Amino acid sequence: MNKINFPALTGIRALAAFMVFVHHYNPFSIEVYGKYAHDFFCEFHIGVTIFFVLSGFLICNRYYDEPNFSFKSYLIKRVARIYPMYFILTTLTFVFFAFVYSQNGWVDLQNYFYNISFLKGFSDDLKFTGIAQGWSLTVEEAFYFTAPLFFILINKSRIYLVIIPLVFIGLGLLLVSYFSGIDCNGFMKSTNFMFDFTFFGRICEFFVGIGLALILRKFSFNFKGFTYIGLAGIILSLCALVSLKVEGGFGVDNFTGKIINTIVLPVFGIAPLFLGLIKEKTFISNFFSSKTLQLLGKSSYIFYLIHLGIFVTILNKFFINQWFLFLSLNIISIVFYLYIEAPLNKLIRKNID
């Protein structure tokens, strides 16, 4: 099963990115569509959960038992995948806002360092600075760095699929208990922050992906219907989050909502959907495997990075419309992917392959 490409899962990346876009720009207003529909699409932040489960699955599928594994080569490939575009867009963001808003140079430089080093993702005060959604890349990078060690332990015993997440959640709680009373730029400031925005709280999503990759290595499935079970699980999880939604917030602001988002949704929604997209031939898998969705999936990382920030600020000066914004950002993302991201990735990998 390892080293196989999964076209439908490339397409699903586009869906995940577009869900986050809808979460931020919810076009389903209460006045027109009603409160329930509005709240339902507000919970589309679960696109990030889809990304995390997908990362766990793909990294495990590719590297779990790779012969002659080189951590250096692995790390360079992982950095090449996300860092060049993040560095370029983060730098543009800080330069742009420094000129437009004439912000204090030292504060900009300090925050710039926290951003390009991914350290901002450990701080409740800094998590939304720079590219606001970039906090999730700190979570991704933490997984990339620790995954090879996880695979060694899991290879010794599958019990580590449970033990490791529990240990990291416990470690996160310990860090919060220590740093919550210390003024340290919001580092591990609260349990809510830890569970919602750090690898310590989001580790289960990656491990569901790892578990799915390992299951596919050992078992073949003749049952047809995982795609629809997964879709039903995702919809029901969204409905549960809506029912838990607090005024002015989201379902995940409730502890039960956090469990649904990080465990129930991945296990009973996202994992079955991925299994169906891999094993079943349906109009859904065909759709996500189409050339259009492949391109949108490959450029979705850039779309995710720019769907909030300077490009939106500039585009809104010309025309304030969510569909215009959505289309424009996709065009920019595709151009950046074809002429900047893909060539840079290829150049970096060329030196190590």
Q: Each residue of 271-312: pLDDT tens digit? A: 999 999 999 999 999 999 999 999 999 999 999 999 999 999
pLDDT given for residue 102 in this prediction: 62
The pLDDT, as a whole number, for residue 183 is 80
Token pair recorded at residue 186 = 């919001």
Q: How far apart are CA 88 and CA 340, in angstroms?
A: 10
pLDDT tens digits for 111-158?
999 999 999 999 999 999 999 999 999 999 999 999 999 999 999 999
The model's pLDDT over 152-199, given as tens digits with 9 standing for 90+, comes to 999 999 999 999 999 999 999 999 999 988 888 889 999 999 999 999
Residue 353 pLDDT greater than 70, yes or no? no
Q: Of 54, 87, 123, 20, which Cα lies nearest the Cα of 329?
A: 20
Looking at residue 350, what is its pLDDT?
77
Q: Is the pLDDT of residue 247 over 90?
A: no
Place of tokens 């730098």: 91
pLDDT-derived band of residue 103, with 50, 70 and 90 as boundaries? low
Question: What is the sign of the dihedral through the CA atoms of 253, 256, 261 and 262?
Answer: positive
What is the crossing angle of helices 322-336 and 7-25, to 10°?
Answer: 140
Please give the structure tokens belonging to residue 74: 């692995």
Q: What is the pLDDT of residue 1?
A: 43
Specify the pLDDT at position 184: 85
Q: CA end-to-end span of the chain, whole Å?
A: 22
Overall average pLDDT of the 243-247 stretch: 89
- Record the pTM: 0.95
Beta-carbon contacts of residue 160 (< 8 Å; ≥ 6 apart):
150, 153, 154
Query: Is a pLDDT exceeding 80 seen at residue 105?
Result: no
Of 100-109, 116-125, 223-232, 339-348, which gets the smallest average pLDDT?
100-109
Label each residue of 75-133 as H, E or C: HHHHHHHHHHHHHHHHHHHHHHHHHHHCCCHHHHHHHHHHHHCCHHHHECCCCCCCCHH
Q: Mean per-residue pLDDT for 311-317?
A: 93
Percent of the chain's residues with pLDDT above 70: 96
What are phi and psi for residue 27, nearest 5 degrees? -80, -5
pLDDT of residue 2: 47
Q: Which pLDDT score is estimated for 194?
A: 97
> Which token pair is 244?
């838990």
